[in-house]
């Protein structure tokens, strides 16, 4: 198979030939038709991320190069392993990419994303920047139905990432403000999902005027300039009072501090982004203010099924999606790195 692969961290992707994998056991081989380009791809490509005063974290532990990136995948079933059931060749499916070992307690209870021995596509296995991928089993494949496959591909990461984060702050009254820090692909996905769930007060924070405008168009009720000083005060002003829930889709030092500071007593901060940095807080304020800070890492197969069901019901507004030819993989990654993407950018195979 052909693959746009990392040969060396931080260097241009190269088009290489790899052996097409043979599905074993319950595995299923798919030909990739669409693959989203995600900020997580950038972190793997760079090879590390910022831990603030602790230095940088080496992401490449357990990762073997060359590696085909890409985990937001829609593909066409090509071949089933000898024990695989549930799909047939020719079926179009969204691929759940956050595979685990398949046997631990987390995996057995449907929390594959929290497995301590991950086998995620595009990270520990070749992903959708290759023209074929392996799904662990049919339970990791979801029928997109009539959903645009370019949009459906984004549900496998950006979609379920924000869906899972939103579940961690619910229930909240529809007119209580929910703050979303970041109005890129994740932020716009979160606005769309919140609107589909019936939420009306959505405050979007971003440093880009263009992205704030996109957030309003997507259904945000209010926006905040992310470069405002102090940002916590600007967030509180936009909400009319300290907010009860903030989802930080950037999660850098500055945004985390502003979010923590802005929360009302009993409020909750959900950290999602991997921009990097650290949050230093006075420990007495955590119990005194009864605050909660929780991390949220992608989502489960159940989250993917629930999100696709929401889309099938017709209440989930589509994101701005731009497709580009699969052969433009390196250029697409560079555009994302330089902040030149509003919404989501998706690679499309010539055979799609």
Q: Kindly report the CATH number assigned to the domain that includes residue 338.
A: 3.90.180.10
Same domain, yes or no, for 194 and 253?
Answer: yes
**CATH number of the domain to which 234 belongs:** 3.40.50.720
3-state secondary structure of 45: helix
How many domains, in total, are found in the chain?
A: 2
Which tokens belong to 240? 């009319």
Evaluate if pTM is beyond 0.85: yes
Same domain, yes or no, for 30 and 175?
Answer: no
Range of the domain at 75: 2-160+299-348
pLDDT < 50 regions, the chain: none
Same domain, yes or no, for 82 and 188?
Answer: no
Same domain, yes or no, for 137 and 196?
Answer: no
pLDDT tens figures, 98-114: 999 999 999 999 999 99
CB 61 within 8 Å of CB 170: no
Same domain, yes or no, for 234 and 323?
Answer: no
Same domain, yes or no, for 236 and 180?
Answer: yes
Same domain, yes or no, for 74 and 90?
Answer: yes
Same domain, yes or no, for 289 and 328?
Answer: no
Alpha carbon dihedral 192, 194, 195, 197, in 10-degree steps, equals 120
Domain boundary (251, 269, 295) is at: 295
DSSP character for 264?
P
Which tokens belong to 20? 């097409």
pLDDT tens figures, 132-182: 999 999 999 999 999 999 999 999 999 999 999 999 999 999 999 999 999
Same domain, yes or no, for 108 and 222?
Answer: no
Same domain, yes or no, for 223 and 98?
Answer: no
Same domain, yes or no, for 54 and 187?
Answer: no
CB 38 within 8 Å of CB 72: yes
Same domain, yes or no, for 133 and 28?
Answer: yes
> Would you state the pLDDT for residue 74?
98
> Would you state the pLDDT for residue 153?
98
* Residues whose CB falls within 8 Å of the CB of residue 244, separated by 6 or more in sequence, listed in order: 172, 176, 177, 263, 264, 266, 267, 268
């Amino acid at each position: 198979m052909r693959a746009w692969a990392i040969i060396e961290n931080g260097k241009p992707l190269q088009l290489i030939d790899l052996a097409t994998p043979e599905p074993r056991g319950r595995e299923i081989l798919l030909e990739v038709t669409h693959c989203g380009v995600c900020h997580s791809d950038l972190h793997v490509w760079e090879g590390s991320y910022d831990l603030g005063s602790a230095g940088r974290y080496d992401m490449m532990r357990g990762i073997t190069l060359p590696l085909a990136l890409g985990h937001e995948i829609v593909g066409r079933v090509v071949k089933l392993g000898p024990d695989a059931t549930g799909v047939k060749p020719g079926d179009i499916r969204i691929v759940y990419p956050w595979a685990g070992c398949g046997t631990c307690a987390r995996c057995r209870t449907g929390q594959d994303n929290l497995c301590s021995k991950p086998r995620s596509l595009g990270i520990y296995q070749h992903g959708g920047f290759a023209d074929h991928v392996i799904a662990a089993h049919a339970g990791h494949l979801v029928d997109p139905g009539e959903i645009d496959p370019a949009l459906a591909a984004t549900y496998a990461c950006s979609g379920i990432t924000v869906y899972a984060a939103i579940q961690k702050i619910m229930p909240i009254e529809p007119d209580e403000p929910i703050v979303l820090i970041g109005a890129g692909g994740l932020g716009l996905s979160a606005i769309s999902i919140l609107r589909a769930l019936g939420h009306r007060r959505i405050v979007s924070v971003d440093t880009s005027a263009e992205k704030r405008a996109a957030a309003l168009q997507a259904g945000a009720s209010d926006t905040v300039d992310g470069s405002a000083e102090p940002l916590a005060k600007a967030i509180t002003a936009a909400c009319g009072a300290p907010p009860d829930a903030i989802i930080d889709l950037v999660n850098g030092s500055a945004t985390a501090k502003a979010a923590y500071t802005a929360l009302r007593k009993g409020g909750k901060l959900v950290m999602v982004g991997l921009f990097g940095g650290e949050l230093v807080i006075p420990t007495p304020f955590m119990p005194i203010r009864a605050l909660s800070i929780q991390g949220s890492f992608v989502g489960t197969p159940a989250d993917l099924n629930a999100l696709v069901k929401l889309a099938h019901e017709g209440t989930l507004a589509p994101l701005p999606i731009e497709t580009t030819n699969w052969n433009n993989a390196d250029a697409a990654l560079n555009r994302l790195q330089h902040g030149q993407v509003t919404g989501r950018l998706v690679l499309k195979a010539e055979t799609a």
